[in-house]
Amino acid sequence: MSKPVLKRSVKVKDISYGRHISIVTPDKFWVSDWNNLTLTDNSGETLKKVTDKAATGGVHAVSNNGKLTYIDTKGDIKIQTNSKTMVIFRRKASFRPTCLHRCASSGDILLGMRFLKNNTYTGIVFRCDRNEEKIIPIRSDQKSKILFGDPKYLAKNCNGDTIISDYTFNAVVVVDSRGTYRFSYIGPPSGSGLRQRLQPEGICTDALSHILVVDTLTDTVQMIDKDGHFLSFLLTKPGRIHELYGLAYDHKTHLLYVGHGSSECTDIVSVYRYIDRQNYILTDT
C-alpha cells in the first residue's frame, strides 16, 4: 500500500455532509446526510432524489444491476427502479430497521435492526433473501452476551465476515459467515498517539480484506486487518477536511470514497487511492 492520494473532491448539491455513500458506477454514486438522499455524478450534479429516506446511518445500498435499496421513514425496505419504487420488506412490530447492506454475490440483504426491551435497546442483524426468509439472526455471542444495541452501518468482507458499526457499545463488531462472533474492535492500542476509545460511523472493506472505520472522536479513518488487529490511521484530518462520516470502497476501480463536512461546507465527498495496482485481488462482497 501507499500513502492515500486524493484523486478528486466532489461538491455535492443538496447535501450538507456525506453521512453514507453507495457507489453505482465509477461516475455515479448515492450520498445522504441526515435528511436527504441524492444520486450524483462526479461533477456534483443531482441526477435523482429520494425524499422518504430514514434519518439514520447506513440506510441505503446498491445492487449489482444498479438498483437502489433503502430504508424509508416508516421503517420499510424499498427498491427503486427506473420506473417505480416497491416495498420488499415491511417493518415488524417493535423492530426498527437501522441499516442495510447488499451482498454482491447473492443479492441478499444484510439488515440491522434494534428493538426496545426493558427500557434498553438491543440490536440484531438478519441476512434476508427476496422472499423475506431470515437467515443467520445475529444477536449474541456463544456465551449469550449481547453484541450490539444500535447497529448503524453494515459491511461484508472478502472472507465472508459481517461487520457492524454499533453506537451503543462504541465498537466495530465482526461475525463470521455462520453468524458466530469473532471479535470487537474498540479503538487503537495504547501508544498509538490517539485515544483508545472509539465512536464509529461509516465502515467498509477493501480488496485486501482490511476493515476501515471512521472514528468521529478523532476525525480519523482507522484501518484494521480481517482479524481485528490495528494497522494504521489511514486518514487523519486530511487537509481542511473535518467531521468524517461515510465510507465506501469501489471494488471495480479500487478507490475509497470518504464523506465529510469541510471548513467551507462545500466538498462533501473525497476520493482516494491507497492500494498499489500490483496488489489488486478479485473480491466478492
User: CB neighbours (10 Å) of residue 282?
Assistant: 7
Between CA 209 and CA 225 the distance in angstroms is: 7
The pTM (predicted TM-score) of the whole model is: 0.91
CB neighbours of 176 closer than 8 A, spacing ≥ 6?
160, 161, 162, 182
Over its length of 285 residues, how does the chain's per-residue pLDDT go in tens digits? 688 999 999 988 888 889 999 999 999 999 999 889 999 999 999 999 998 999 888 999 998 888 999 999 999 999 987 778 888 888 777 788 999 999 877 778 899 998 877 777 788 888 876 555 555 677 777 777 888 889 999 999 999 999 999 988 899 999 998 888 999 999 987 765 555 679 999 999 999 999 999 998 888 999 999 999 999 999 987 655 668 899 999 998 999 999 987 655 566 899 999 987 655 554 444
Is 285 within the bounds of a domain?
no
Is 79 within the bounds of a domain?
yes
Between CA 8 and CA 3 the distance in angstroms is: 15
Determine the structural domain holding residue 238 and report its residue range.
Answer: 5-279
Is 235 within the bounds of a domain?
yes
Is 213 within the bounds of a domain?
yes
Q: What is the CATH number of the domain that holds 171?
A: 2.130.10.10
If one counts the domains in the chain, the total is 1
Q: Can you give the pLDDT at residue 133?
A: 56
